[in-house]
Amino acid sequence: MALSAMDSRQGELGDFLRSRRQKLTPKAVGLPDGRRRRTPGLRREEVAELAGIGVDWYIRLEQGRSVSPSASTLDALARALRLTKAEHRHLRELAQNADRRAFVREIVPAAILRAVEQLNLPAYVTGRRWDVLAWNAAADDIFAFSRLEEADRNSLLSVLTNPATRRLFGASWADEARRMVAQFRTTHDLWAGDPAFRDLLARLREGCPEFAGWWEAHDVSGAAAGRKSLIHPKRGRLKLEYVSFQANDDPALKLVIYTAA
């Protein structure tokens, strides 16, 4: 029986808490090592004590069972698990009892399409699932979106499973791919169980041997500007900076613009 969207989200919440707990050491939180541990990280009892909550209640959270933690409880867990700001925000979003509809691929408004096409800088628009929905000639010259089938026009699929894109990133490919996976995880967990997201994960697992290990780590990070160093087959080495913007009309749409670094 397929899990509901709510059950899937609670499962991701439990998995996220467990992954953060297992990455901590007693020394990192001021606890004695004590006897030898059979598994890495803190024990559930230790996290519950650090957060000031009941052990059974915390176990229910990790098991993905139906509970509704308060904002103060989530903040206490974030402190106990030494979460970063991005991880803390992700924890709060996972705990919200939002009822999501099935994912539908976004449509880029005509005004945004015209703006992207007229930009002299490389630019493209992605959706919530990181599908590449629109791009201009300058971006196509670098990333060759027009050469991809529509089903393959996805930032994650392109970078993780397309040999040509992997060559484009050269030695920086693994770092860039892992960064993207951590950023995408923050969106995926809110849509866990949706057929479109399940299909994307299946394709990533099949097409990228490294993906499973990165995914199981359950690392999350916020979106940010950055730099990319590419090896273009015709233009040689390209060093680029990128920034991204959300559309006011539809926050699911993200405009990414590149400039020369």
Concatenating the DSSP letter of every residue in 95-125 gives: HS---PPPP------HHHHHHHHH-SS-EEE
**Do 118 and 211 share a domain, yes or no?**
yes
Q: How many helices (H) and strands (E) does the chain have?
A: 12, 5
Classify residue 101: in a domain, yes or no.
no
**Do 153 and 84 share a domain, yes or no?**
no
Predicted TM-score (pTM) of the model is 0.85
> Which CATH number characterizes residue 83's domain?
1.10.260.40
Label residue 32 exposed, middle or buried (CB < 10 Å: 0-12, 13-18, 19+): exposed
**Do 159 and 249 share a domain, yes or no?**
yes
**Do 25 and 90 share a domain, yes or no?**
yes
**Which H helix or E strand runs over 207?**
helix 195-207
43 or 205, greater pLDDT? 205
Q: Which of 72, 95, 118 is the last residue of a domain?
A: 95
Classify residue 100: in a domain, yes or no.
no
CA distance 9 to 2: 13
**Do 16 and 47 share a domain, yes or no?**
yes
Domains held by the chain: number: 2
Q: Which of 68, 95, 122 is the last residue of a domain?
A: 95
**Do 50 and 122 share a domain, yes or no?**
no
Give pLDDT tens digits for 145-196: 999 999 999 999 999 999 999 999 999 999 999 999 999 999 999 898 899 9
**Do 179 and 248 share a domain, yes or no?**
yes
State yes or no: pLDDT of 36 exceeds 70.
Answer: no
**Do 70 and 160 share a domain, yes or no?**
no
Partnered with residue 150 across adjacent β-strands are none
**Which H helix or E strand runs over 131?**
none
Classify residue 191: in a domain, yes or no.
yes
> Which CATH number characterizes residue 125's domain?
3.30.450.180
Give pLDDT tens digits for 116-143: 999 999 999 999 999 999 999 999 999 9
Question: For strand 254-260 and strand 132-135, is the pairing parallel, antiparallel, or unpaired?
Answer: unpaired
In angstroms, the Cα distances linking 88 to 26, 102, 124, 220 are 20, 26, 29, 10
**Do 120 and 236 share a domain, yes or no?**
yes
Which residue range is the domain that position 42 belongs to?
A: 5-95
**Do 13 and 120 share a domain, yes or no?**
no
